Each structure stands twice: as structure tokens, then as C-alpha cells.
């Protein structure tokens, strides 16, 4: 059985690429598509995919929109019921294409010492990282504050492609709802660190391809709210410990 991947879906019927999904399925990924209270045809599409790939695609429907953080947390808890070795999550717009997610998983498999792998949108020569200037600069400001809060030199906490080896630390980290709706990635990393996952078991891997998609839920206003949420995350992490 391959890795389990959570894909949160909120009104993604027009953007959820069957071609990208098929590429993941061909490489033995198990997919959990969480419909986060969509108003469009997302749930109908998820049902269709479940019927087409009954051994690899699972749908979860949330009656009301609960936000990406809770959709992913619910999806991870559901996947844990199948006793997987690796769980991850990926944005439904495939800004990170399936080929990159496959490469990230192969990197994790080649490093038995790594428990948490973070995709990173590092703008550099030779990489195709396409995003607007304003989002890039706001993201860099956010990343600086997030890195200081976590006290680790992480470049990009918010990339929507992450993989985790299943451990007690992960189970505890996702047991309780996040206090953050937008910056939960920072909160999750902090919880894992607090729950005994050592820094040397984290690996940040630069993406070769990342393309900003139109209609993204993470606009400038959401990124600004995420920065404000860092305050409440910092307070929450002070009391979140391995029990």
C-alpha cells in the first residue's frame, strides 16, 4: 500500500484535475478527498472518482465549511484508521503537480532518518516557481515571523505539499482541532516539535515546479490574517506538549 494523501476540496469541481489525480493513483497513492462544504459539483466529482477507483479513492463530506485546517485534520485521522506508514496532504489546485509530489515521496523513502518532509517554494535558477510578486513578498515576511516563532530555520511553512511518517507524535499533533484556520501548517510543525519529533528529523525539499493558480483561496487578505494568527499559535504551543 502506498502513501495516503489528503486533498481538501472547497468548490474545486473546476480545478480538481483528473489527469493529475490519475498520475498519483498510478504511483500507488491512496487519496482521501475531503469536501469541505462545497456549493458546487465537488461532491459529485468525488463520488465519481470513488466509483472509478474504489480501492484507492475515499471521499469525506463535511456538511458545512470548516476550513482547510480542519478538513486536513479530519482526513489525516481517517487515514490513520488504515494503519499507513506515510500520510501527507496536497492542495486541490495542483499548484504542486503530481510529478513533484511523487518526487517528494521518493525523497522521503530514500531517507529513513526523516519523519517530516516539507515542500518548499524556493525561487532559484533552474526551478519553475511562478507566483505574483506581491504574494511572494508577503510570503517571505510571513515565513520570517513563522521561523522565529518556531525557532527553526524553515524557509516555507505554507507550501501545500507535506509528508509525514506515521508516529505517536503525529497522532497527538492532530488529535485536537487547530486554533488557526489559515496558518495551521505552522501550528502543526510546532506541535510535532513539542511532541518529541526532533528537528533533525525534518527535511525541507525545494520544489522544481510550482505554479500559482487563479481562484486560490489563499489571497493577500488570507495571508495577512495568517500573520495575525501567529500570535494565537504562539500562545497555544506554549501549553501543547506530549502527554
Q: What is the rounded CA–CA span in Å between residue 9 and residue 29?
A: 17
184 pLDDT tier (thresholds 50, 70, 90) = very high
DSSP 115: S
* Residue whose grid cell is 480538481: 16
Note whether 118 and 205 are within 8 A (CB).
Answer: yes
- Global pTM value: 0.92
Average pLDDT estimate for 228-234: 88
DSSP 240: -
Q: Which domains does the chain have, with CATH numbers?
A: 4-237 (3.90.550.10)
DSSP 199: G
Q: CB count, 10 Å around CB of 222?
A: 14
Kindly tell me if the per-residue pLDDT of 3 is higher than 70: yes
Task: Give the pLDDT of residue 242.
Answer: 54
Give the contacts of 32 (CB within 8 A, at least 6 positions apart): 4, 5, 6, 7, 58, 59, 60, 75, 78, 79
Q: What is the rounded CA–CA span in Å between residue 222 and residue 215?
A: 13
Mean pLDDT across the chain: 93
> Which H helix or E strand runs over 145?
helix 133-150
And the C-alpha cell for 97?
Answer: 503537480
Bridge partners, 163 (sequence order): 88, 117
Q: What are phi and psi of 80, to 5 degrees?
A: -60, -25
Give the contacts of 199 (CB within 8 A, at least 6 positions apart): 152, 193
Q: What is the rounded CA–CA span in Å between residue 230 and residue 232?
A: 6
Task: Give the pLDDT of residue 140.
Answer: 87
Q: What is the rounded CA–CA span in Å between residue 111 and residue 113?
A: 5
215 pLDDT tier (thresholds 50, 70, 90) = low
Note whether 59 and 50 are within 8 A (CB).
Answer: yes
Express each pLDDT in 100-158 by its tens digit. 999 999 999 999 999 999 999 998 999 999 988 888 888 888 889 999 999 999 999 99
Average pLDDT estimate for 223-236: 82
Amino acid at each position: 500500500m502506498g502513501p495516503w494523501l489528503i486533498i481538501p476540496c472547497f468548490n474545486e469541481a473546476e480545478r480538481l484535475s483528473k489527469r493529475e489525480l490519475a498520475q498519483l493513483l498510478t504511483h500507488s497513492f491512496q487519496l482521501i478527498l475531503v469536501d469541505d462544504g462545497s456549493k458546487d459539483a465537488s461532491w459529485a466529482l468525488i463520488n465519481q472518482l470513488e466509483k472509478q477507483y474504489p480501492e484507492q479513492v475515499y471521499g469525506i463530506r463535511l456538511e458545512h465549511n470548516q476550513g482547510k485546517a480542519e478538513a486536513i485534520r479530519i482526513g489525516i485521522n481517517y487515514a490513520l484508521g488504515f494503519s499507513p506508514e506515510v500520510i501527507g496532504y496536497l492542495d486541490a489546485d495542483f499548484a504542486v503537480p503530481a510529478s513533484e509530489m511523487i518526487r517528494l515521496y521518493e525523497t522521503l523513502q530514500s531517507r529513513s532518518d526523516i519523519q517530516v518532509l516539507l515542500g518548499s517554494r524556493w525561487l532559484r535558477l533552474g526551478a519553475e516557481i511562478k507566483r505574483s510578486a506581491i504574494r511572494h513578498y508577503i510570503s517571505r515576511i510571513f515565513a520570517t515571523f513563522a521561523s522565529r516563532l518556531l525557532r527553526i530555520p524553515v524557509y516555507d511553512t505554507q507550501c501545500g505539499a507535506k509528508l509525514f511518517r506515521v508516529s505517536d507524535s503525529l497522532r497527538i499533533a492532530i488529535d485536537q482541532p487547530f486554533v488557526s484556520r489559515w496558518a495551521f501548517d505552522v501550528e502543526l510543525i510546532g506541535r510535532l516539535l513539542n511532541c518529541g519529533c526532533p528537528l533533525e528529523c525534518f527535511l525541507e525539499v525545494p520544489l522544481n515546479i510550482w505554479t500559482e493558480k487563479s481562484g486560490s483561496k489563499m489571497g493577500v487578505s488570507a495571508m495577512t490574517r495568517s500573520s495575525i494568527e501567529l500570535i494565537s499559535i504562539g500562545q497555544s504551543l506554549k501549553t501543547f506538549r506530549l502527554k
